[in-house]
Amino acid sequence: MPAPRHAPDGANGFHYVAEGWRLLSLPGIKRFIIIPLLLNIVLMGAAFWWLYTRLDNWIPALMGHVPDWLQWLSYLLWPLAVISIVLVFSYLFSTVVNWIAAPFNGLLAEQLEGHLTGTPLPDSGLVGILKDLPRIMKREWLKLVYYLPRALLLLVLYFIPGVGQTVAPVLWFIFSAWMLAIQYCDYPFDNHKISFAEMRRALRRHKVDNLQFGALVSVFTMIPLLNLFIMPVAVCGATAMWVDRYRTPGGEIRR
């Protein structure tokens, strides 16, 4: 069993994304990455192929909402429109993939935490995860309930002339970063049966670092090929963050 992990000094959210890439290659962890990785490659690959075949129709439609007095900024608003569509699409489809992959992501987080701390979780393994499947699906539902009203409010902003093409993309990027931090950090928290509300309170105590983590994951989600691998990377990075920032030696959350 490896020695327990020691938290690095001054590590921020960007560090934990890089750490996620490194942890993918740990001995004994690779086999738990295969199913989440294959699910992400197949589903996200197909989803983004479909998106790129539709952008030629969607971008002109979105740009049609630009008022005449902002037409001189079209050269700048066009890339913002593309980024906005890709951001919305990336989060929606990553949410679908995470619903399907949630039990396997939880198992990956569990096994990686045991490796990093030298203390395997009780009831570990696929059988334990399957036993907790109803709780895992309820947790995914809680994330969706938290996400939907906020996302709908931001989508309304897209249809306000001027605001929809300038302010809304920035707000959506920040919101997506926060939601991706919640999505991936939730796996190790949920493995310890820490409530969704308590998990959010814990993440808010390190909000800047979590926004950095979610923002970089969001950027990778928009990049072809890299987006096929980002889900297990984010799970590994978020689990390392849990071990370094939130977990007590006894496995409870730090207060």
More confident residue, 181 or 155: 181
Tally of helices (H runs) and strands (E runs) in the chain: 9, 0
Q: What share of the chain is helix, strand, coil (3-state, %, to 5)?
A: 80, 0, 20
pLDDT at res. 1 = 45
Average pLDDT over residues 135-139: 87
pLDDT higher than threshold 90 for residue 47: no
Q: Residue 117: pLDDT band by 50, 70, 90 thresholds?
A: confident
pLDDT at res. 5 = 59
Task: For residue 22, give the nearest of 227, 207, 237 by alpha carbon.
Answer: 237
Provide DSSP, 82-136.
HHHHHHHHHHHHHHHHHHHHHHHHHHHHHHHHHHHHS-PPTT-SHHHHHHTHHHH
pLDDT higher than threshold 60 for residue 110: yes
pLDDT at res. 66 = 57
pLDDT at res. 62 = 60
pLDDT at res. 69 = 55
- The pLDDT mean for the chain works out to 80
**pTM for this entry:** 0.79
pLDDT at res. 210 = 96
pLDDT at res. 189 = 94
> Which of 70-84, 119-133, 181-195, 210-224 is predicted with the least confidence, judged by mean pLDDT?
70-84
Query: From residue 228, how far is each of 47, 48, 66, 251 by CA, in Å?
Result: 11, 10, 33, 31
pLDDT higher than threshold 60 for residue 194: yes
The half-sphere exposure of 83 on its side-chain side, counting CA atoms within 13 A, is 20
pLDDT higher than threshold 60 for residue 249: yes
Rounded to whole angstroms, how far apart are CA atoms 182 and 78?
30
pLDDT higher than threshold 90 for residue 159: no
pLDDT higher than threshold 90 for residue 177: yes
Give the list of residues 6+ apart from residue 110 with CB closer than 8 angstroms, or none: 121, 124, 128, 129, 188, 191
Average pLDDT over residues 38-62: 72
How deeply is 134 buried, as exposed, middle or buried, from its count of CB atoms within 10 A (0-12, 13-18, 19+)?
exposed
DSSP designation for 26? -
pLDDT at res. 107 = 87
Contact 232, 98 (CB under 8 A): no
Rounded to whole angstroms, how far apart are CA atoms 97 and 40?
7
pLDDT higher than threshold 70 for residue 59: no
pLDDT higher than threshold 70 for residue 180: yes
pLDDT higher than threshold 50 for residue 190: yes
